[in-house]
Amino acid sequence: MSRIAISGLAAVLFAVLWPSPADAHGFSSTVYADVTAEAGRVHADLQLEYDLLVVSAADAERDDALFREGTAAFEAGDTTAMAAALNAHAERARHYVTERFTVRGCTATPSGTFTMGEREGVPYATTGIDWACPQAGGHLVEARLFPDAEGYVKDVKTIVTYAVDGRHGSAALDAGHPTFDTGQRWYQRFWEFFRLGAEHLLTGIDHILFLVALIAGSRRLRDIVLAATSFTLAHSVTFMLAALGLVAVPAGVVEPVIALSIAVVAAMSALNKDAHKEATGNARLAVVFCFGLIHGLGFAGALGIDEPFSWTLLWSLLVFNVGIEAVQLGLIGLTFPLLLLLRRKAPETGRWVTGAVAAGVAVMGLVWFFQRL
């Protein structure tokens, strides 16, 4: 029986720890779109990460001048020059955008000039698009902005808020789900943000390794329930505050600390033999709670929403968080029973496996910590 347990645990850990193409936060980007409609016309204000827009538009439109001027302005940190570079090549830059952000069955006309702003310390360009639509009602919006052939961006989310024909809502689009209908029902919006939260945890190897470290350091069901609850409460608080724009911490601080949290919790799991004792358990919960606060900032940064408060936004954030928690509980329910079975049937082997897993996770956390500094 112990061999079966070992095999099952190894299979689960292999599936959990194997990295996916989108597991690095630094290779993701977020596009923001505010869509409105009235009298047969649809309007969108788009915000796009400036350097990615310049590189992608220059490559797609074969415009070397846009690349030279745009990257020079970016390297100089001159937002006035950035806007000037885009507006000097506005036709080509807008063509790139309107080809990849569309409303089905409608004819696009760019509107206004490019302006510059900033999100989370990163320069963003804003531009407007108008569409003439032959029919009113729900509209099918499609977003395929980035990644392109340059291969730098691995994951792009387009966060859409809309007020169309009396319907208000939000949607999260990505490469796997690039379209949504403004006439969609509430449960369809629920599913989009639930899926986004679930996918973020499943593809975020650092958050999964933190959870693995918690599981490895738990000796009883009560231990993992308390640890998971502490982590959930902590990251829910900072996730909501950061996503609503009430707390702002640079990603350059958040990402190394997340990596360090993995190493610390995993090391505690590898070295501690008395996790069930009250004093030890309370100290562990305090550490998990503190690091959970940091992970919440990471979740919010991945979603990429920092707009002022609204009930529509709050609904989306809550559902995103539910998606995260569902996957977290699923991983605990799948992995922890196998670990308990192994410890009961083969105590020595169980301790060895637990220690090896925790030590390996700690090493990975330290490697990421120094890489992200």
Q: Supply the pLDDT for residue 136.
A: 66
Q: Supply the pLDDT for residue 48.
A: 94
211 and 358 together in one domain:
yes
Low-confidence stretches of the chain (pLDDT < 70) are: 1-27, 136-137, 147-154, 183-184, 186, 188-189, 272-281, 301-313
197 sits in the region (left: phi over 0; alpha: psi -120 to 50; else beta) called: alpha
Residue 58 domain-assigned? yes
Residue 270 domain-assigned? yes
Domain boundary among 163, 192, 221: 192
16 and 36 together in one domain:
no
Q: Supply the pLDDT for residue 273.
A: 57
In the chain, what's the furthest Cα-to-Cα distance?
Answer: 73
Structure tokens at 24: 């690095």
Q: Supply the pLDDT for residue 150.
A: 57
142 and 234 together in one domain:
no
CA distance 233 to 237: 6
7 and 147 together in one domain:
no
Angle 274-280-281 (CA atoms, 0-180°, nearest 5)? Answer: 95
Q: Which domain holds residue 9?
A: 2-20+204-372
134 and 283 together in one domain:
no
Structure tokens at 242: 């950061």
Are the beta carbons of 65 and 71 closer than 8 angstroms? no
Q: Supply the pLDDT for residue 6.
A: 43
Q: Supply the pLDDT for residue 283.
A: 79
255 and 131 together in one domain:
no
Domain boundary among 129, 159, 192: 192
Q: Supply the pLDDT for residue 7.
A: 40
208 and 276 together in one domain:
yes
Domain boundary among 192, 213, 234: 192
Residue 50 domain-assigned? yes
Q: Supply the pLDDT for residue 76.
A: 93
Residue 197 domain-assigned? no
Are the beta carbons of 107 and 134 closer than 8 angstroms? no
The predicted-structure confidence for 22-60, as pLDDT tens digits, reads as follows 343 346 788 999 998 877 789 999 999 999 999 889 888
16 and 32 together in one domain:
no
188 and 246 together in one domain:
no
Q: Residues of 216-254 as b/e, b for ≥16 C-beta within 10 angstroms?
A: bbbbeeebbebbbebbbebbbebbbbbbbeebebebeeb
Structure tokens at 217: 């350091």
Q: How many distinct structural domains can be found in the chain?
A: 2
251 and 316 together in one domain:
yes
Label residue 274 exposed, middle or buried (CB < 10 Å: 0-12, 13-18, 19+).
exposed
Rg (CA), the chain: 23
333 and 209 together in one domain:
yes
The predicted-structure confidence for 117-147, as pLDDT tens digits, reads as follows 988 778 999 999 999 988 766 788 999 988 6
161 and 290 together in one domain:
no
The predicted-structure confidence for 144-185, as pLDDT tens digits, reads as follows 988 666 566 667 888 888 887 777 777 778 887 888 887 667
Residue 198 domain-assigned? no
